[in-house]
Structure 1
Amino acid sequence: MSGSKIYKLLAEAFFLEGVDTHFTLMGDGNMHWVSTLAGYQGVRTIYVRHEHCACAAASAYATATGKVGVASVTCGPGLTQLSTALATAVRARIPLVVFAGESPLNMSWYNQEIDQGPIVTATGAHYIQAHSLPRMLEYVRNAFFIARMEQRPVVLGVPYDLQKQLLEPSKPYVPSTEFIPDTGRMVPNPAFVERAADRVAQAKRIIVIAGRGAKKAGAQEACRKLAGMVDALLATTLPVRGLFDEDEFSLGVAGGFSSEVAREKFDECDLVISVGASMTHHTVDGGKLFPNADVIQIDCDPAGIRQGLKVADLYVRADAKAGVEALISAVEARKGTREASWRTPELARRIIEEPSDSESFPEQKGMLDPRDAIAALNRVIPKDWEIVNSSGHCSFYPAQMRGRSAERFLVIREFGAIGNGVSYAIGMAAAKPEKTIVLIDGDGSFYMHVQELETIRRHNLRILICVLNDGAFGAEIHKLRSDGIDDSGSTFGRGDLGKLAQGFGLRGSTITSPDQFAERLEGFKGGAGSEIWDIHVSDLVMSPVMRRAVKKKMAPAK
């Protein structure tokens, strides 16, 4: 018989789709494919210790590179481990292709058999059941096409007995990129641009919020120009925080993570111009962030209603850059440039000098205030290092780090799941091997996949892991305390993460004073490999996000 094993043809098809890195945990259902792809014409394979971590690392890799992330798992229990990472990638609109084994078709009973499709589709990801031998390569192309066009994860399930069959392709493989239509930028309807210009002319206090669509379209400078013309301030969604950090009138993140100055200005504004931002519940802080403002949304695919809230009062359907540039032209035609009354030197000073959160808390002996810890990290960590911000109660604080490019700050927290930080750092390290990665995580999240420290050591990745260690699940202790309920189930002590790191063959130390950061950084720079800083922080400091949630819960019924 002539032909090639299907697993070899599938591996080659992935390579022709542009795959240069993939993340995997081997099992019966994927081991032949993985072994073929690993090293195939330079493809790099990161072997992790948990399937969830393969998918999460691929998500970070895709976000950091703009490519389709690729992961691989075996069938049955290998596939079921993906649920949280897949759901997160779906909500974050991350293009992934996961090669998954399926149980053998030609066995009457198999211990790990499960109907995998419903598990995957329940997360919002797409499932392709690859059961036709002649269509095997078509399945691969369809998976990458859907991932690229719909910006969401696709799981390709291939029974592992079929993978060993021989196949003689009838024609050479043509990758999905050859079928993606090139339509150019979406330009706005001129009538809607004029309506937007009317609203701008009537407004007194304007804030421009940029999201991922603005970053992708390269609309950053156009947004800054528009803001300067109409005396507007700038802000971003959390995923692109830092996009305007070089601008003195950037308020930082819009939403639950907004600083005190930002919240004050949002409360005053009467018009928000959303550029390439989907205006999620978090970005508008449940509708409370700018209660007195109308909203113009410039977006390729305006939704109208998002997570239970109306998105905007006027929609301009357009590519972010094309839409803003059209609005700039319309404003200029009306001689719409106005003198600065909001963009004052005093406001610029306040943005830089005033703390993002000024609330006072009791001191806790031997513990750092997490706000002070982040301020110290921001001072000593070079601005060209890559930051990965994890999820959980502690994630508010790193989001306030100014002077760090959106290109060098990764945050994926759309599903609200903790436990992803180490995996995201691995994905970022694979995406940018020439860079130093800094992960800022909480102890509860860090412990969930601590086994991946062995992956970091084995692959010789360069990661500085900074754990804000409050010895507890931060969100839960504050909620339980506010309810007057015993919090012992959410606390577990701080332990010694430095010694834990050493057990995995990494360096590690404990930090309890702001004075220690600079010295520790010099030690890290002088060493090789990765390191953990166990930063002991107070469990009495409650983020403003949590304070508002607790206050809302405790408010008396009207």
Structure 2
Amino acid sequence: MPQSHVYQNIARAVAAHKVDTMFGLMGDANLFMVDSFVRECDGRFVPAAYEGGGVLMAMAFAHVTGKVGVATVTHGPAVTNCITALTEGVRGHLPVVLLAGDTPQDNPRHLQSIDQRELVKTTGAGFEQLRSPATVAMDVARAFYRAQVERRPIVLNMPADFMWQEADFDPKVLNVFTDPGDVAEGDTLDQAIGMIASARRPLILAGSGAINARDEIIALADRLEAPLATTLMAKGLFNDHPYNIDIFGTLSTPAAYDLMGQADCIICFGTGLHDFTTDRGKLMKDKRIVQIDTEPTAIGGTLHPDAALIADAGHTAKTILYWLDEAEIAGSGFTRDLDIDVLTAHPVGPKTTSEGCINYVEALQFMEEALPKDRVLATDGGRFMTEVWCRMSVPDPRHFVATVGFGSIGLGLQEAIGAGVAYPDKPVVLFSGDGGFMMGGINEFNTAVRLGLDLIVVIANDSAYGAEHIQFLDRKMDPSLSEFHWPSFAAVGTALGGTGIEVRSMDELKAAMDQVQTRKGPMLIELKLDPNDVPRMRA
């Protein structure tokens, strides 16, 4: 093949990995590569308003599609603007390739120069260096390979002075065996089956690492007569199953929490057993724990199970079921007298809503029925979020995006856009707080408008940083420093090209939901809340 410019070769190498969508922001170190990706490789470039926003969009795209998300930024401050997003991606185990420009190698005193390798290392993301014009295809292939195998963002560092150099190009794709299909065997498997067979009150818990094993896990649960529960990130996995008790842990209903306490054996598929899932170990006390995961680092993070199986969830569930049948083990009977309606009904507290505000829980209950059911549900960070997780349903885990890996706020709208690009035929519903929207949402709402996304943003506006507001009140201190007089978010949404609606009552909310039915383009619904009436986070 004739030689071509490095910026063209990078674009071609990315396209060779069947990438058709790239998010990000252009600068002098990546603009020609982006241009080539769009004009010569028939790719789509989704421009963000802020570099970290582009990375978050790529992360949500990866989450809902199961593909590698791709983003690009230029050098220096563009990379420093991605640090929170990269950390969120690492915590969420999301395969993303960030094509990051770098300042020219022959100008170490460049104004925007910074040690990008050391910067990226602080986030936990991986780093690949574009070594030379001649190694472009292999360097890009390595970045994609690592993103898939290591399940984290990989930053490919691209020196700006390479871009207009010429080199040969031969596309390379490194095959990744993403479904190893490991089957548990040996003494540990025997011990695990013994614990499960002897359990009188077994319960099955599934996390995001088990979402492809839904049918096999349900078959095992039915055989054991065991209730099913999920972690937050696997929300919706067991929808419509008669013994699905929904989210396990601090987000469960009081009745479900009590049931979890009664269990004597918990079989955990694809979950690292986060502190919030186990209620800091309380829900695992005095129980036999069997943990199955393909990722060794997921085992023993907070507590060590009685039997740990580094194995595929689906194959292991089928193996356990086979040996239970061979041994003619009877069902436990644990599900026979369960009232699933009671177990999944979240309580409603007393209303103390001030005049001119809407009760948050009542609003959520109404929106659960009024908003489109085939939605992708996304949430930003804040005290409002746990009630959303508990009261708003999703079709399945791929339709749920929660930006909670790093405990940050201000990441939700960016990920909602990424999900909207991945699912152009589905409505995306984002719940954000007022502080989170001001921090990260306001600068990307117009991006959604420009893209013409079917996006419904619901802002829980209590005019405060809620978690801090509660802490001041708990200490009997003046909370005024945590309170803010924001502009009208509804007016801002309209000014940015969308449809903004302010809601202070149930009648106004019903009218807003009527407008949702005839929506065209992004909508922003501002719920005016009383900061003293928003439930505490369930953690």
How high is the TM-score relative to the length of structure 2?
Answer: 0.95
> In structure 1, what is the equivalent of residue 402 of structure 2?
411
User: Partner letter of residue 486 of structure 1?
Assistant: D
> In structure 1, what is the equivalent of residue 171 of structure 2?
173
Residue correspondences, number: 537
> In structure 2, what is the equivalent of residue 319 of structure 1?
312
Alpha-carbon offset, residue 188 of structure 1: 1.1
> In structure 2, what is the equivalent of residue 278 of structure 1?
272
> In structure 2, what is the equivalent of residue 161 of structure 1?
161
Alpha-carbon offset, residue 403 of structure 1: 4.7
User: Does the 8 A contact of 1:95 with 1:151 survive in 2?
Assistant: yes
Answer with 79-88 or 229-238: which moved more: 229-238
> In structure 2, what is the equivalent of residue 197 of structure 1?
193
User: Partner letter of residue 69 of structure 2?
Assistant: G
- The one-character-per-residue Cα deviations of 1:329-379 (angstroms, maximum 9, x if unpaired) are 12222222326344425x223024x3x244446332222332222111101
> In structure 1, what is the equivalent of residue 372 of structure 2?
382
Answer with 94-103 or 397-406: which moved more: 397-406
1:208 to 204, 210, 217: 204
User: Partner letter of residue 198 of structure 1?
Assistant: G
Alpha-carbon offset, residue 424 of structure 1: 0.7
Question: After the TM superposition, which residues 217-228 of structure 1 pair with which residues of structure 2 at under 5 Å, given as runs?
Answer: 218-228=212-222
- The one-character-per-residue Cα deviations of 1:3-32 (angstroms, maximum 9, x if unpaired) are 211001101100111111111111111111
- Structure 1 SS opposite 2:384: helix
Question: After the TM superposition, which residues 217-296 of structure 1 pair with which residues of structure 2 at under 5 Å, given as runs?
Answer: 218-296=212-290
User: Partner letter of residue 200 of structure 2?
Assistant: K
> In structure 2, what is the equivalent of residue 551 of structure 1?
none
User: Does the 8 A contact of 1:386 with 1:437 survive in 2?
Assistant: yes
Answer with 439-448 or 362-371: which moved more: 362-371
Q: 2:98 aligned with 1:68, yes or no?
A: no
> In structure 2, what is the equivalent of residue 391 of structure 1?
381
| Structure 1 residues 375 and 109: CA distance shift in structure 2, 3 A | same
> In structure 2, what is the equivalent of residue 532 of structure 1?
524
Alpha-carbon offset, residue 470 of structure 1: 1.0
User: Does the 8 A contact of 2:26 with 2:73 survive in 1?
Assistant: yes
How high is the TM-score relative to the length of structure 1?
Answer: 0.92
Identity of aligned residues (%): 28
User: Does the 8 A contact of 1:194 with 1:330 survive in 2?
Assistant: no
- The one-character-per-residue Cα deviations of 1:219-271 (angstroms, maximum 9, x if unpaired) are 21222222222231111111111111212321211223222222111222111
User: Does the 8 A contact of 2:86 with 2:125 survive in 1?
Assistant: yes
- Structure 1 SS opposite 2:57: helix
User: Partner letter of residue 263 of structure 2?
Assistant: C
> In structure 2, what is the equivalent of residue 151 of structure 1?
151
User: Distance in 1 between the 2:36 and 2:432 partners?
Assistant: 35
User: Partner letter of residue 406 of structure 2?
Assistant: F
| Structure 1 residues 182 and 339: CA distance shift in structure 2, 3 A | closer
User: Distance in 2 between the 1:302 and 1:168 partners?
Assistant: 40
User: Distance in 2 between the 1:544 and 1:326 partners?
Assistant: 42
- The one-character-per-residue Cα deviations of 1:269-321 (angstroms, maximum 9, x if unpaired) are 111110111212222121123323221011123447554x2231111222000
- Structure 1 SS opposite 2:156: strand
- The one-character-per-residue Cα deviations of 1:161-191 (angstroms, maximum 9, x if unpaired) are 111111123xx21212xx3247741111054
RMSD between aligned residues: 2.0
Question: After the TM superposition, which residues 19-168 of structure 1 pair with which residues of structure 2 at under 5 Å, given as runs?
Answer: 19-107=19-107, 109-168=109-168
- Structure 1 SS opposite 2:275: coil
- Structure 2 SS opposite 1:124: coil
Unpaired stretches in structure 1, ≥5 consecutive residues? 549-558
User: Partner letter of residue 173 of structure 1?
Assistant: P
Alpha-carbon offset, residue 206 of structure 1: 1.7
- Structure 2 SS opposite 1:23: strand
User: Partner letter of residue 136 of structure 1?
Assistant: V
User: Does the 8 A contact of 1:245 with 1:402 survive in 2?
Assistant: no
User: Does the 8 A contact of 1:279 with 1:311 survive in 2?
Assistant: no
- Structure 2 SS opposite 1:219: helix
- Structure 1 SS opposite 2:172: coil
> In structure 2, what is the equivalent of residue 453 of structure 1?
445
- Structure 2 SS opposite 1:286: coil
Answer with 357-366 or 246-255: which moved more: 357-366
User: Distance in 1 between the 2:268 and 2:431 partners?
Assistant: 29
| Structure 1 residues 231 and 538: CA distance shift in structure 2, 3 A | farther
| Structure 1 residues 323 and 6: CA distance shift in structure 2, 3 A | same
User: Partner letter of residue 441 of structure 1?
Assistant: S
| Structure 1 residues 446 and 14: CA distance shift in structure 2, 3 A | same
Unpaired stretches in structure 2, ≥5 consecutive residues? none
> In structure 1, what is the equivalent of residue 514 of structure 2?
522
- Structure 2 SS opposite 1:282: helix
Alpha-carbon offset, residue 108 of structure 1: 5.2
- Structure 2 SS opposite 1:312: coil
User: Partner letter of residue 409 of structure 2?
Assistant: I
User: Does the 8 A contact of 2:385 with 2:537 survive in 1?
Assistant: no
Answer with 260-269 or 234-243: which moved more: 260-269
User: Distance in 2 between the 1:305 and 1:385 partners?
Assistant: 33
User: Does the 8 A contact of 2:13 with 2:136 survive in 1?
Assistant: no
Alpha-carbon offset, residue 537 of structure 1: 2.2
User: Partner letter of residue 432 of structure 2?
Assistant: D
User: Does the 8 A contact of 1:227 with 1:234 survive in 2?
Assistant: yes
> In structure 2, what is the equivalent of residue 340 of structure 1?
333
User: Partner letter of residue 106 of structure 1?
Assistant: D
Answer with 48-57 or 186-195: which moved more: 186-195
User: Partner letter of residue 160 of structure 1?
Assistant: A
User: Partner letter of residue 515 of structure 2?
Assistant: G
User: Distance in 2 between the 1:122 and 1:250 partners?
Assistant: 40
| Structure 1 residues 303 and 141: CA distance shift in structure 2, 3 A | closer
User: Partner letter of residue 305 of structure 2?
Assistant: A
